[in-house]
């Protein structure tokens, strides 16, 4: 609504609220002009009193303003009074002239005051100004007061007609007649009805005021009087042009009833005729669309074909992606969609999913994200899908707890095996360079083992052992020695604590001397020993099989015989004890309580100076170790104050092991070397790696980030560092690849595992909501949904409906045009569609059933080809079929409805009869206003 109309309605509303019902629009405007004149005049007087009237001296400029405002207010008020009175048009015209003259007088006053005003002015022009102003006001007053008095004729200027008389039909002066009943509707606007005994018709438009309603009634009377009954002998397309120059058309039968109408407004007649021509040509042979459940439609544009799946209401359910070179190609993809959709798995991968894929007869598995982008692929191939699935079942629960490492950093990796905890040392090239020598019972013990390597590696020398060597090593504040072979078999170990390195070395020399002359003594029970002490005296003692002294002679004897006699006295009490005479040191083979055999070296004084470091299951085993000791008695002596890298050969290759000062082997090298120089270089490289390496524990798997600058990838390793899966693409930053790894770790445990046999329905969430896409095993998209859903559950319900509809979908072809039958509420309707499925025209009526609508369409097909095209420039009556029966309608030359029958009639003839009554009596009908 425009601003002018809003102001007008406001003025009328206030007048009706505070004054009363106006007889005309002029009355309302007159009232408000009178009020405006009063306010302006009073404002001028008030301005004078508060301005020049209160100031000393002559304030000519302010006086001029005040008197001019007051003068305009007086003339404006008089003009408002004229409009309030029921005068004729000629009186209004005279009042306008008078008001204009008065305004000219005011303008003249502003030009002559004060220089040319009054007898004191240069040239007194005040009489001319006063006469001009008074003449204008005289005309305003004389229009309503003087002219009727002088002429004696009220009707010369004043309206004599009224609306208070009753029509003849209401007072019995005529048998038939019509009455225009003007009244307010529920919204307070004015409307009207034509009444002939009963109400026959009602207006289609409303009026804001009673005068507007009167004007509308006058126009309708003229239209009814001139309107024809639109008697045409054949069906015709009628063309209309409205006041805005827009065109539309309707299709009418030969009885004047409308059966169809165009849905658009057209810019000109030519465009309208083009639309009509399309309906005449295409509508005559157009098929009737009858979609039962769902159907495929194929469309051609620019020699390319597309397809879509429609439901019974012609709503899009699915569409192909892209276009196709031929109808056959489009239909092939659509039919495949119908075949695959019913059995395809509906899959929602919101974050991470795992696909089992078959390539060249072998299976692998791969991580994909929510956009079906490939993240990583397994490196192993599997013979069957179940094997691949089993591998995935091992990976998914464990990958969430996997450590994340960055390649290129030397690291101790702690991992648990079936035997226990182990560690391995990885250098910057991701090569394993060392491993723990033996498993430990827990992770802490394994960490201590790696820590011992890290603390001692820098000081460790590279040492070769040729056969065997004596190793002199510290043990706290004391020193010990051992005889170790190349394979770290300890042949002998010292039994005493030595105060210094030299003392331990001297002990080795004594052992060499004594062992070289020592005899082998074997006993299984206790034995008597006769020996010469250091001071030359002879003694005896009783030792058990473990070498412990059970008894000793209490005195010294000058000769062996004396000692022997004393010993024999005691032997009578220990008859089973053997008798040994020790002239020099001796090796003793013995068996303990656990039936294990060992050896020890006893010097000539009966002291144990060396022993075998381990016990053996058999006597022969102890003999073998003793034999090796004798063979290596003269091995080199080496002080081992720090841990060592011990180099050794294995099948011709050089290797190393890491040995602590206490003789424990804690680490082994990983690689074999062709030469000792190669091994030496490796050892030098390992010194820095092992001393500075980080450490972490890994579970069943570890995620490793690999890259630099703008090329970062990730890979999944198992506990043996075997590659399980690797990234399928590169990332620009380390943080980007970390984000991907984090998503995999967070969601892998709940990731769906799937295999695309032939097709899969992807359920994806986009900005607009959830939607589905159907693709085959090669990720070629076969179809996608056209609707978005608020929740995943709603989409899943929709997909289930499509599973039922798609396999049984038929085929529709819109061609150039098609008739569509559709239902709204309890009624059926029809419309004509073009090849792009745009609605060209709609039926004019509603039907109780599909069959009735179909029969009407069949009759319309017969009408359109033979229908003529006419343009009627005058108002006309039309007959329309609506729900409930027939109505008549009066339309103007633009096709806009002016009036229509209030209620539908059972037959077209009854509607025509009432229409003829209105045509006959309405032009002379009286107007009656009621509240």
Q: Which residues contact 166 (CB under 8 A, 6 or more apart)?
A: 926
Cα 844 from Cα 832, distance rounded (Å): 12
Q: What is the pLDDT of residue 412?
A: 92
Q: What is the pLDDT of residue 130?
A: 79
Q: What is the pLDDT of residue 420?
A: 92
Burial degree of 858 (CB within 10 A; 0-12, 13-18, 19+): exposed
| pLDDT higher than threshold 80 for residue 450 | yes
Nearest to 776 by CA among 340, 307, 338: 340
Handedness of CA 223, 225, 226, 230 (dihedral sign): positive
Which of 86 and 155 is assigned the larger pLDDT? 86
pLDDT in tens, 778-796: 888 889 998 899 999 999 9
Please report which confidence band the pLDDT of residue 906 belongs to, taking 50, 70 and 90 as the band edges: confident
Coil, helix or strand at residue 151: helix
Rank 13-22, 543-552, 564-573, 747-756 by mean pLDDT and report only the highest: 747-756
Report yes or no: 136 and 98 within 8 Å, Cβ to Cβ.
yes
CA 881 to chain centre: 51
Report yes or no: 30 and 83 within 8 Å, Cβ to Cβ.
yes
Q: What is the pLDDT of residue 440?
A: 93
Residue 814 has φ and ψ, to the nearest 5°, of -70, -30
| pLDDT higher than threshold 60 for residue 846 | yes
Please report which confidence band the pLDDT of residue 455 belongs to, taking 50, 70 and 90 as the band edges: very high
pLDDT in tens, 857-868: 888 888 887 787
For a pLDDT cut of 90, what percent of the chain falls above it? 18
Nearest to 784 by CA among 140, 265, 237, 321: 321
Report yes or no: 492 and 610 within 8 Å, Cβ to Cβ.
yes
Q: What is the pLDDT of residue 555?
A: 63
Which of 550 and 159 is assigned the larger pLDDT? 550
Which of 15 and 741 is assigned the larger pLDDT? 741
Count other C-beta atoms under 10 Å from residue 638's C-beta.
16
pTM (two decimals): 0.49
Cα 623 from Cα 627, distance rounded (Å): 6
Q: Looking at the DSSP assignment, which residues form a beta bridge with residue 298?
A: 307
Give helix 126-144 / helix 60-84 axis angle, nearest 10°. Answer: 20
Longest dimension (CA), the chain: 193
| pLDDT higher than threshold 80 for residue 461 | yes
Rank 71-75, 311-315, 589-593, 782-786 by mean pLDDT and report only the highest: 782-786
| pLDDT higher than threshold 50 for residue 133 | yes
pLDDT in tens, 35-79: 787 787 777 778 777 776 556 555 667 777 777 787 777 877 777
| pLDDT higher than threshold 90 for residue 316 | no
Distances (CA, A) of 823 to 106, 199, 826: 72, 33, 7
Report yes or no: 803 and 792 within 8 Å, Cβ to Cβ.
no
Nearest to 613 by CA among 664, 666, 668, 545: 664
Q: Which of 408-417, 827-836, 879-888 has the lowest mean pLDDT?
A: 879-888
**Mode of pairing for the β-strands spanning 578-582 and 527-532:** parallel
Coil, helix or strand at residue 781: strand
Coil, helix or strand at residue 99: helix
Report yes or no: 616 and 566 within 8 Å, Cβ to Cβ.
no
| pLDDT higher than threshold 60 for residue 806 | yes
Cα 149 from Cα 434, distance rounded (Å): 133
The owner of tokens 């075949």 is: 339
| pLDDT higher than threshold 90 for residue 151 | no
| pLDDT higher than threshold 70 for residue 552 | no
Q: What is the pLDDT of residue 161?
A: 41
Please report which confidence band the pLDDT of residue 896 belongs to, taking 50, 70 and 90 as the band edges: low
Coil, helix or strand at residue 365: strand
| Mean pLDDT value of segment 207-214 | 68
| Mean pLDDT value of segment 748-752 | 89
For a pLDDT cut of 70, what percent of the chain falls above it? 77
pLDDT in tens, 82-92: 777 767 777 77
Cα 408 from Cα 422, distance rounded (Å): 21
Q: Average model confidence (pLDDT) for the chain? A: 79
**Mode of pairing for the β-strands spanning 926-929 and 287-289:** unpaired
pLDDT in tens, 531-545: 656 566 766 666 665
| pLDDT higher than threshold 70 for residue 703 | yes
Expressed in percent and rounded to 5, the helix, strand and coil fractions of the chain are 35, 35, 30
| pLDDT higher than threshold 90 for residue 758 | no
Q: What is the pLDDT of residue 205?
A: 66
Q: What is the pLDDT of residue 156?
A: 46
């Amino acid at each position: 609504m425009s601003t002018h109309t809003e102001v007008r309605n406001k003025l009328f509303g206030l007048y009706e609220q505070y004054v009363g019902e106006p007889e005309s629009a002029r009355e309302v405007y007159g009232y408000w002009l009178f009020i405006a004149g009063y306010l302006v005049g009073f404002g001028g007087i008030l301005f004078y009193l508060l301005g020049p009237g209160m100031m000393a001296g002559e304030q000519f400029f302010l006086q001029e303003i005040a008197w001019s405002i007051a003068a305009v207010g007086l003339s404006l008020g008089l003009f408002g009074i004229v409009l309030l009175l029921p005068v004729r048009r000629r009186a209004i015209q005279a009042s306008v002239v008078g008001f204009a003259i008065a305004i000219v007088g005011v303008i003249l006053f502003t030009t002559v005051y004060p220089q040319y005003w009054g007898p004191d002015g240069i040239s007194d022009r005040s009489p001319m100004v006063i006469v001009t102003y008074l003449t204008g006001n005289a005309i305003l007053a004389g229009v309503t007061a003087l002219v009727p008095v002088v002429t004696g004729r009220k009707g010369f200027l004043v309206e004599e007609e009224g609306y208070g008389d009753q029509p003849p039909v209401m007072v019995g002066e005529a048998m038939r007649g019509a009455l225009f009943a003007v009244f307010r509707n529920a919204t307070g606007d004015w409307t009207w009805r034509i009444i002939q005994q009963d109400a026959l018709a009602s207006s289609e438009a409303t009026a804001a005021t009673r005068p507007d309603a009167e004007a509308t009634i006058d126009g309708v009377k003229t239209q009814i009087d001139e309107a024809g009954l639109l008697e045409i002998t054949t069906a015709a397309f009628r063309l209309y042009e409205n006041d805005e120059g827009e065109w539309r058309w309707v299709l009418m039968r030969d009885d004047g009833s409308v059966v169809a109408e165009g849905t658009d407004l057209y810019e000109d007649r030519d465009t309208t005729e083009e639309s009509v021509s399309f309906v005449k040509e295409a509508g005559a042979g157009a098929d009737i669309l009858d979609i039962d459940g769902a159907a495929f439609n194929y469309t051609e544009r620019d020699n390319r074909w597309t397809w879509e799946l429609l439901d019974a209401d012609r709503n899009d359910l699915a569409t192909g992606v892209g276009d196709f070179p031929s109808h056959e190609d489009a239909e092939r993809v659509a039919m495949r969609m119908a075949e695959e959709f019913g059995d395809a798995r509906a899959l929602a991968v919101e974050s991470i999913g795992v696909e089992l894929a078959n390539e060249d007869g072998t299976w692998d598995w791969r991580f994909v994200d929510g956009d079906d982008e490939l993240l990583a692929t397994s490196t192993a191939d599997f013979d069957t899908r179940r094997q691949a699935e089993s591998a995935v079942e091992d990976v998914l629960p464990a990958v969430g707890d996997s450590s994340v490492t960055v390649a290129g950093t030397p690291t101790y990796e702690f991992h648990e095996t079936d035997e226990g905890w182990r560690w391995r040392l990885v250098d910057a090239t991701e090569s394993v360079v060392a491993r723990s020598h033996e498993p430990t019972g827990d992770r802490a013990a394994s960490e201590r083992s790696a820590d011992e390597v890290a603390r001692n590696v820098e000081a460790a020398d590279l040492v070769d052992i040729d056969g065997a060597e004596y190793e002199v090593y510290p043990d706290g504040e004391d020193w010990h020695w051992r005889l170790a072979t190349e394979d770290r078999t300890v042949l002998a170990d010292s039994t005493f604590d030595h105060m210094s390195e030299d003392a331990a070395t001297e002990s080795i020399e004594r052992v060499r001397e004594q062992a070289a002359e020592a005899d082998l003594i074997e006993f299984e029970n206790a034995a008597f020993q006769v020996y010469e002490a250091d001071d030359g005296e002879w003694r005896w003692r009783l030792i058990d099989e473990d070498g412990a002294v059970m008894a000793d002679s209490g005195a010294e004897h000058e000769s062996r015989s004396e000692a022997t006699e004393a010993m024999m006295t005691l032997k009578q009490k220990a008859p089973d004890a053997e008798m040994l005479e020790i002239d020099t040191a001796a090796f003793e083979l013995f068996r303990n309580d656990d039936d294990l055999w060992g050896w020890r070296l006893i010097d000539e004084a009966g002291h144990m100076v060396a022993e075998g470091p381990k016990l053996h299951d058999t006597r022969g085993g102890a003999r073998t170790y003793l034999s090796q000791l004798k063979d290596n008695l003269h091995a080199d002596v080496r002080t081992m104050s720090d841990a060592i890298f011990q180099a050794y050969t294995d099948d011709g290759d050089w290797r190393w092991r890491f040995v602590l000062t206490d003789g424990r082997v804690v680490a082994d090298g990983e690689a074999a070397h062709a030469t000792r120089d190669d091994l030496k270089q490796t050892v030098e490289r390992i010194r820095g790696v092992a001393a500075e390496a980080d450490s972490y524990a890994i579970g069943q798997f570890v995620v490793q980030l690999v890259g630099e600058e703008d090329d970062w990838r990730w890979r999944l390793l198992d506990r043996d560092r075997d590659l399980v899966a690797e990234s399928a693409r590169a990332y620009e930053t380390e943080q980007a690849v970390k984000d991907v790894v984090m998503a995999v770790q967070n969601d892998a445990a709940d990731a769906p595992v799937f295999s695309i046999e032939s097709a899969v329905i992807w359920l994806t969430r986009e900005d607009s909501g959830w939607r589905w896409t159907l693709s085959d095993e090669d990720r070629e998209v076969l179809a996608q949904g056209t609707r978005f859903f608020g929740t995943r559950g709603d989409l899943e319900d929709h997909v289930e409906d499509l599973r039922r509809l798609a396999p049984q979908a038929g085929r529709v072809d819109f061609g150039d045009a098609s008739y569509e039958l559709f239902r709204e509420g309890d009624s059926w309707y029809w419309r004509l569609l073009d090849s792009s499925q745009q609605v060209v025209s709609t039926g004019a009526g509603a039907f109780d059933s599909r069959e009735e609508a179909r029969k009407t369409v069949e009759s319309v097909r017969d009408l359109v080809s033979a229908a003529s095209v006419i343009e009627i420039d005058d108002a006309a009556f039309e007959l329309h079929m609506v729900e409930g029966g027939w109505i008549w309608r009066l339309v103007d030359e633009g096709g806009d409805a002016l009036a229509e029958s209030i209620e539908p009639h059972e037959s077209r003839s009854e509607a025509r009869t009432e229409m003829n009554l209105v045509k006959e009596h309405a032009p002379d009908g009286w107007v009656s206003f009621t509240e």
